[in-house]
């Protein structure tokens, strides 16, 4: 069990993570290849809906990690399938379960990967400046439509084009960076806050996650 993050002296109720600790957590993701197989062929399943912005950051982190590892996309029948926790659990020859932290795995007989969340792969790639002010309350459920007006203009269930995904994530980053600290009821929100250099208000769920890693 790892020590909990340090309390941010500038914000009485926030935790602020040391950059070196975030770097150590990111390096734990280097263990992923041992589960991918020698050919590193991967199929992604259970991807998040567009309004789940933290889920979109998880997906971006995973794709970044797989690219760095030299993994190649392939059909599920000839690949290791990584299920991110949304929709129906696929029936495939080789399955890895990697749901959002704090979410139930919903996969009888398939244990979740013993790794930090893939969003940590983005550590060091996201800007922290300019410094913001005030407290940002992230949504209780993974739905940012009330926080990002662009999401409200998108037709439901439409495929998210790469250019549009980048625009959404850029707007979400600007929103978080405009604040000094974040109230994140879900663990994924606390990870996003930490990756953007912001303190976050602790909850029992975030304490459990950060205490584990």
Dump pLDDT digits (tens) for 93-115: 999 999 898 776 566 656 679 99
Two tokens at 118?
């893939």
Assigned domain for 8 exists: no
| Angle at which helices 187-195 and 162-177 cross, to 10° | 80
Identify the pLDDT of residue 10. Answer: 44
Same domain, 149 and 191: yes
Assigned domain for 205 exists: yes
167 lies in which domain range? 125-212
Of 119, 147, 175, the one marking the end of a domain is: 119
Assigned domain for 79 exists: yes
Identify the pLDDT of residue 59. Answer: 96
Same domain, 134 and 203: yes
Two tokens at 43?
């199929």
Dump pLDDT digits (tens) for 3-27: 444 444 444 478 889 999 999 999 9
DSSP assignment of 68-100 equals HTT-EE--GGGSEEEE-S-SSPP--SSEEE-PP
Same domain, 81 and 144: no
Q: Please, are residues 213 and 25 in contact by the beta-carbon 8 Å criterion?
A: yes
Identify the pLDDT of residue 177. Answer: 97
Identify the pLDDT of residue 8. Answer: 45
Predicted TM-score of the model (pTM): 0.91
Same domain, 115 and 46: yes
Residue 34, number of CB atoms within 10 A of its CB: 7
Same domain, 109 and 133: no
Place of tokens 């797989």: 66
Residue ranges for the chain with pLDDT beneath 50: 1-12
Q: Which residues of 164-198 are buried (b: 16+ CB within 10 A; e: fewer)?
A: eeeebbebbbebbbebbbbbbbbbbbbbbbbbbbb
């Amino acid at each position: 069990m790892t020590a909990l993050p340090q309390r941010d002296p500038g914000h009485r109720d926030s935790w602020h993570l040391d950059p070196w600790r975030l770097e150590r957590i990111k390096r734990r993701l280097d263990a992923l290849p041992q589960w991918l197989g020698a050919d590193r062929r991967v199929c992604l399943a259970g991807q998040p809906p567009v309004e789940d912005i933290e889920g979109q950051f998880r997906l971006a982190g995973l794709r970044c990690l797989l690219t760095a590892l030299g993994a190649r996309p392939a059909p599920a029948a000839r690949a290791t399938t990584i299920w991110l926790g949304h929709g129906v659990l696929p029936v495939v020859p080789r399955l890895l379960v990697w749901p959002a932290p704090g979410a139930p795995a919903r996969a009888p007989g398939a244990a979740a990967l013993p790794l930090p969340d893939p969003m940590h792969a983005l550590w060091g790639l996201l800007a922290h400046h300019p410094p913001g002010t005030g407290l940002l309350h992230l949504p209780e459920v993974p739905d940012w439509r009330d926080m990002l007006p662009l999401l409200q203009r998108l037709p439901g269930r439409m495929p998210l084009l790469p250019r549009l995904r980048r625009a959404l994530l850029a707007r979400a980053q600007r929103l978080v960076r405009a604040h000094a600290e974040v109230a994140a009821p879900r663990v994924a929100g606390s990870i996003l806050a930490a990756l953007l250099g912001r303190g976050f208000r602790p909850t029992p769920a975030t304490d459990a996650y950060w205490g584990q890693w």
